[in-house]
A and B are shown apart, each in its own frame.
Chain A
Amino acid sequence: MTASMSQCLMQMVQTDYQIADYQSDITPRWCTGCGDNAILTAMQRLCRDEQLPPEKTVCVSGIGCASRLPHYMNAYGFHGIHGRALPIAEGIKIRRPDLSVFVTTGDGDCCSIGAAHWIHAVRYNMNMTMLLHDNNVYGLTKKQASPTSPKGLKSNTTPFGATLNPLNPLSVTLGISNVSFVAQVPDWIPELLYDVLSKAYHHKGFSFIRILQRCPNFMNHHFDAAVQDPLRVRMLTHADGLRLKPELSRIYKNQETHDPLDLNRAQALAMLDEEIPVGVLYSNPHVPCYDELRKGKRPSTPQLVETVLNEEFDKVGIWPEGQQATSNGE
């Protein structure tokens, strides 16, 4: 198809966004060494590489350390209420499908108070990218056990150790109907973080990324075993998934070729106990998207809304004999 006149004319306006164009005036107030910094950088790199206009990009969050991210992005942002990032993002996306929507949320925000929205957002499969910053703890409120905290974790709310086994966000997401993209990546391998984020961004539908995020203050050394022993990380590679660069391939020798369309294997991988699966566990671009299914035949202009309302009122209207509702509203 040939480009339209407006497309040609718009190409006259050259843009060259740099990372600095996505950095807000506010310096990130995350703790020193926090993995959130890596996630922010990966997002800004993606925006630059995709040349996303800041005015066409939206970051939506709930409450928590991770949810501070919209403040640090020079884009539209919505720092929402606890657990409610996804409904807000869905509202934005359905009203403005032209925007690139990112949702940043933490394990407490998503897997506890926001769990219902998380499940239905996966089911709705609207075209957006969700980043679950999973540090296994409530950090903003200075260490309380979250749904993903390991059993036995001593925290302010579990002084004798967390009682329950942790919730597995991957296996939960993979079990929801209409799931279309699930990936896991640690924040300490920036190249992979970027690659997975890029894959998620280009996926049509709801992309769920669980990011294993280090919290140096309240969960210090929690991920050290995986950070220091590359064999604890199982790299999931595939032509349609992650492709490791040679330098990473030399370090991370524990690799498995995994077809992202293989849901059964994805579920088995999500349940791995001793190893951390990293890469795209599941990706199916053919799952229908709610925003496309519900796309109206024509935009709801005030005139159309008024007409439809009047038509409904006319159904129960009482007209003098010999008259009826007319098309011009007389």
Chain B
Amino acid sequence: MQVAQISTDPQGQGSDVFMEEAALTALRPALFARYNALDSLRYDYPLVLIEGEEVEKPLMPLCHIVDEALRLVAPQGPDGEELRQQVLRLEQRMREKVAAGAEEKLSELWRISVSELVTESGQSAFGPLDQNLDRARQTITLDGRVIGCTEATPGKVLAHVWQSMHLARARKFRYKVDRLVLRLNDILKSDHIKSDEAHSPEALSKSMGLDGDNSIDFGVLSNILHRVRPEDRLPADRVARIKHVLQVLQTQAFFGPGRATYSYPDKAVCYSYVFQSCTEALDAYRDRLPSVIEFSKALAIAEMEVENKYVPDLHDGVFANFDESDLTEEQMAFLPPAMIFLRDGVTESSEISRAYEALACGLPIKVMIQVDDILGPTSPEPPRNSFGAGTARLASMAMGINNAFVVQGSSAHMTRMQDAMVRAMHYGGSAMFSIYSGATKTVPGVPAYILAAAATEARLFPNFSYDPSAGPDLASRFDLSANPQMEKDWPEHTLRYEDPTGVRKEEVVSFTYGDFALADTRYHRFCEAIERKSWSGDMVPFEEWLETSGGSDAIKRAYVQGVDRQDALMRVVVDDKIVAAARRCKDAWNRLQELAGINNSYVLAQLAEERRKREALLAELSSDAASPAAVEPAQPVAEAAQPTAEPQAASEEEDSVAAEVMDDMPWIETSRCTTCNECRQINDQLFGYNENMQAFIADPDAGTYRQLVEAAEGCQVSIIHPGKPRNPAEPDLDDLMERAKPFL
């Protein structure tokens, strides 16, 4: 749900009360007023973190799940109304529980809430209410933890998306490695059964199992098998190589054995890939590099061995010199990336700069930087800048690295950013997530969700993604579409209120940096609330003020709309410092817009130039039109190219020419030969097979005319033509030539 829809509700509590005196400490942006009772509204939270490998959408708002269930069981209209109301009441109960801090799986939260509602209704378990709600529950096939929007939300969401990706990678990894292990074992097994050991009486006895009556003499059996044993054993070096590869594959520590944990031999302790600092992650990367190299080599060798394509003379050298510089992106992407959780204001600032270094190197890391305070203090406190000039730019800076996947978003928009987050997790290189939690301590009384959404609305923390793998240009890579009214400088909303006489009024207002700053108590010293009776004509709406030349008119003052604790509307005049910060904020937003192709300065300049040229040309034409000589129509510059190329007559050589030449020579319609071998059984010197195993006259002098005639008579598809006799001295020629006539 967007803040874009907020407005003061004339029916809301206290909206008709106007305070005589403004209390700065309770000031909030006017557009927040509609969300006083957030817990009773249906919006993106509570959010369900959907469990499972490679789920299409790892995040789903609870209300969407409920809506889908209602669509299936409660049709619109009187028939479904009762059930609809019951399920919505249940959803409200779950919402209240999450707001109170409950964090359960959806199935459990549903169960507990149903139990409470049933008890409160006075009905028994399995009563009508219970059964109705159970019907709706049956349609919900997914499950997962239900979370609210708090300061911990960005970490939980990212950890969940990373875990989903990790499970999916683990599945692919196990599928590939297990398949190779099976196949390599098959190769070794097929070699082993030819060994003395496999044919020993002991091995035969063991393979037979219990032989209760001792009716089999395994010694004799072993002797018999020994005599017929195949001798084509695998080369010893190949066996050793396969065994080594198997050992590496089976003892790898990158992913666990999954479901086969129960009995997996040599179970290795798996590496952890979740870190709270960049230093830890980089240290782990270095420590694990030798095993990464060893494993990548083993994997490549295994793939070649199962295809029987490993040639020691060719490949031994390649693998002997294989080191980290030979690791390919594909090989790295096969192993888990590190997930690093950093928090602005908590993590040491040096860690953040290390993260940028690691991102720039293209290491397989995913870094989340959680931002809790966008505006920062009102005066710079290195390394933190003031007036929103610092943390809100982290992601934009990461885009400069160019090969890192960058996602920025506020926790209010996790659902709409989830596609980008999933793609970033699956991206082969490094990725950076900059998430604003909305849990700013200096903004009391405003829910984290509202503040997070407001940060995006105010263009302070826009949602965007930069995907280096999406294409060669910015148009493919950069996506700004997850922002409200992205074409505009500031999003506009309708503010509804009542004037002192109780008349409903509407006003279109923009939500700007100034509105956002109004919520932060640190910035109240730069604001002055003006009660209604003191409003004057020299007060200019903040967004209009920004469009002016920069406050040169000393009489005018910029104001934003605010409300106090009782939702009384007032104008809040802001200081030039906030105006200047808002200009910087707008400038940064305009730059992002340009990257997304909105108001691109190059395009605009080109457009202006083209327009200028066109106007100049029109002016010239209109001046020429005044002289009669200019009215002749312009001659066509060039005739349209005529289709010249007559299709060249295909030079078709008739086969008859060749046939005439061949009249005297024996010949075969080779392409019709069915390889029946009949002619070659008569004379395999006279008749030969070509590369497609089809007959032709290999040597006309290698046989007799009689053989040619008999072959022609015997040919099942009558494609042998004996021609004329080559040896006039051959007996019975007259008779043979008569027999050959049908085949000439």
Binary A-proximity of B307-347 (CB < 8 A = 1, otherwise 0): 11101001100100000000010110000000000000000
B678 touches A32 (CB 8 A): yes
Total residue contacts A-B, CB cutoff 8 A: 133
| B239-267 to A contact mask, C-beta < 8 Å, 1/0 | 00000000000000000011111111101
- Contact status A41-B693, CB under 8 Å: yes
> 13 extra interchain contacts, Cβ-Cβ under 8 A, other than A2-B328, A6-B301?
A4-B328, A12-B314, A13-B311, A35-B676, A37-B675, A38-B675, A44-B693, A190-B672, A214-B716, A247-B655, A298-B178, A299-B178, A299-B179
Residues in chain A near residue B303, CB distance under 8 A: 4, 6, 10
Q: How far is the CB of A259 from chain B (nearest CB, A)?
A: 28
Least Cβ–Cβ distance between A109 and chain B, in angstroms = 21
A308 to B, closest residue via Cβ: B259
Which chain B positions have C-beta within 8 A of A35? Answer: 674, 676, 716
Q: Which residues of A contact B300 (CB under 8 A)?
A: 4-6, 9
Docked Cα-Cα span, A40 to B677, in Å, equals 12
**A177→B658 CA distance, assembly (Å):** 51
**A45 adjacent to B260 (CB under 8 Å):** no
Question: Which residue in chain A gives the minimum CB-CB distance to B334?
Answer: A4
Complex contact A9–B304 (CB within 8 A) = yes
Given that A28-B677, A33-B714, A35-B674 are contacting pairs, would A298 and B258 also be in contact in the complex, using a CB cutoff of 8 Å? Answer: yes
The verdict on B182 contacting chain A, using a C-beta distance below 8 Å, is yes
Q: How far is the CA of A37 from the CA of B716 in the complex (A)?
A: 12
Residue of B nearest to A11 (CB): B309
Judge if B174 is at the interface, Cβ distance under 8 Å.
yes
Given contacts A12-B314, A307-B262, contact A301 B693 (CB under 8 A): no
Tell which of A12, A40, A307 touches B263, judged by Cβ atoms closer than 8 Å: A307
Nearest chain-B residue to A188 (Cβ)?
B717
Chain A residues with Cβ under 8 A from B262's Cβ? 303, 306-307, 310-311, 327-329
Within the complex, the shortest CB–CB distance from B190 to chain A, in Å, comes to 12
**Please, how many angstroms separate the alpha-carbon atoms of A2 and B671 in the complex?**
40
Query: Nearest chain B CB to A233's CB is how many angstroms away?
Result: 13
Contact of A6 among B260, B304, B311 (CB under 8 A): B304
Question: What 1/0 mask marks residues of chain A from 280 to 304 whose CB sits below 8 Å from any chain B CB?
Answer: 0000000000000000011101011
Give the Cβ gap from B106 to chain A, nearest Cβ, in Å: 24
Complex CA–CA separation, A255 to B460 (angstroms): 71
Q: In the assembly, what is the distance between CA of A311 and CA of B259, in Å?
A: 10
Are the CB atoms of B315 and A9 closer together than 8 Å?
yes
Nearest CB in chain A: distance from B557 CB, A: 61
**Does chain A have a CB within 8 A of B205?**
no
Measured CB to CB, the nearest residue on chain A to B179 is: A299
- Say whether, besides A299-B178, A304-B178, A190 and B674 are in contact (CB < 8 Å): yes
Contact yes or no, A189 B171, CB < 8 A: no
Chain B residues touching A, range = 35 or more
Q: How far is the CA of A307 from the CA of B263 in the complex (A)?
A: 6
B677 touches A32 (CB 8 A): yes
Q: Give the residues from 553 to 586 in chain B that come closer than 8 angstroms, CB to CB, to chain A.
A: none
Query: Which residues from chain B contact A18 at a C-beta distance below 8 Å?
Result: 691
Whether A90 sits at the interface, judged by CB under 8 Å, is no
Q: How far is the CA of A18 from the CA of B174 in the complex (A)?
A: 38
- Closest residue of B by beta carbon distance from A10: B309
Question: B261, A307: Cβ atoms under 8 Å?
Answer: yes
A contact residues around B318 at 8 Å (CB): 9
Contact between A38 and B676, CB atoms less than 8 A apart: yes
| B367 CB-CB contact with A under 8 Å | no
Minimum CB–CB distance from B173 to chain A (whole Å) comes to 10
In the complex, the chain A residue whose C-beta lies closest to that of B677 is A37
Nearest residue (CB) in A for B296 is A5
**Chain B residues with Cβ under 8 A from A12's Cβ?**
311, 314-315
| Contact A307 to B716, CB < 8 A, known contacts A28-B677, A41-B692, A301-B182 | no
> CA separation between A18 and B667, bound complex, in Å?
25
Q: Collect the chain A residues with CB atoms within 8 Å of residue B328's CB.
A: 2, 4-5
Decide yes or no whether A166 CB sits under 8 A from chain B: no
How far apart sit A98 and B239, CA to CA, in the bound complex (Å)?
22
Cα–Cα, bound, A13→B303 (Å) = 14
Minimum CB distance partner of B267 in chain A:
A328
In the complex, are the beta carbons of A187 and B674 less than 8 A apart? yes
Distance in angstroms between the alpha carbons of A86 and B329 in the assembled complex: 42
Instruction: Write the nearest CB–CB distance from B298 to chain A, whole angstroms.
Output: 11
The residues of A that contact B673 with a CB separation of less than 8 Å are 190
Q: CB distance A297 to B314 under 8 Å?
A: no
B175 at the interface (CB under 8 A from A): yes
A38 closest partner in B (C-beta): B674
Which of B259, B301, B311 gathers most chain A CB within 10 Å?
Answer: B259
| Nearest CB in chain A: distance from B712 CB, A | 13
Give CA–CA (A301, B182) in the complex, Å: 7
- With both beta carbons as reference points, the residue of chain A lying nearest to B328 in the complex is identified as A5
Cβ–Cβ < 8 Å partners of B693 in chain A: 19, 41, 44-45
Closest to B671 in A: A191
- The answer to whether B304 and A188 touch across the interface, beta carbons within 8 angstroms, is no
Is A45 a contact partner of B314 (Cβ separation < 8 A)? no
Task: Give the contacting residue for A188; candidates B175, B261, B307, B672; CB below 8 A.
Answer: B672
A19-76 CB contacts (< 8 Å) to partner B: 19, 28, 32-35, 37-38, 40-41, 44-45, 53, 55
B182 cross-chain contacts in A, Cβ below 8 A? 299, 301
Question: Is B534 an interface residue when CB atoms closer than 8 A count as contact?
Answer: no
Known interface pairs A55-B308, A303-B257. Does A33 touch B676 (Cβ–Cβ under 8 Å)? yes
Quote the shortest CB–CB distance from B267 to chain A (angstroms).
8
**Measured between C-beta atoms, what is the minimum distance from A36 to chain B in Å?**
9
B181 beta carbon closer than 8 Å to chain A: yes
Confirm or deny: A227 has a beta carbon within 8 angstroms of a beta carbon on chain B. Answer: yes
The docked-state distance in angstroms from the alpha carbon of A207 to that of B189 is 33
